[in-house]
Amino acid sequence: MKRSLVLQSAAGDATSRQKLHRYLIERPTPLLVPTLSMTGGLAKSALEHAGGELAITAFPDLDCARQLRPGEREVKLAVMPPMEILDLARDANLVLLIKAPGKDGPVSVVVRPTEIDTHA
């Protein structure tokens, strides 16, 4: 995923947000999801709060994950296609929180599965 698309969407650009939704639907490029453990081959996602909602956090690439989660050695990164993450979020009533480093610090975009459903 292009980091610039996350940055522009986080800045409130509606066109970029629509492009981000399309990207998540159409591209199989995986996102990196921090996980707490791998039990029985399944990753347990590390959930965060995004506003008043629980979120599955994801990073567009390894550089973003390293910059935003330095020193967290116990956290592993699972590689997952965006639609798989959104399916998990939908089933668990969660949102997807995509994080990337910005010029002035970390930025994030909340993606609700229902928003993606309207574009699919």
Distance from C-alpha of 14 to C-alpha of 102, rounded to nearest angstrom: 18
pLDDT band per the 50, 70, 90 thresholds, residue 53: very high
CA 40 to chain centre: 23
Strand 31-39 to 42-45 pairing? antiparallel
Is the pLDDT higher at 1 or at 79? 79
pLDDT band per the 50, 70, 90 thresholds, residue 89: very high
- The H-assigned helical ranges of the chain are 3-10, 14-26, 62-68, 82-91, 113-119
Q: For 58-70, write each residue's pLDDT tens digit.
A: 999 989 988 887 6
What domains, with CATH codes, occur in the chain? 3-119 (3.40.1350)
Do 111 and 57 contact (CB within 8 A), yes or no?
no
Helix or strand holding residue 37 (H, E): strand 31-39
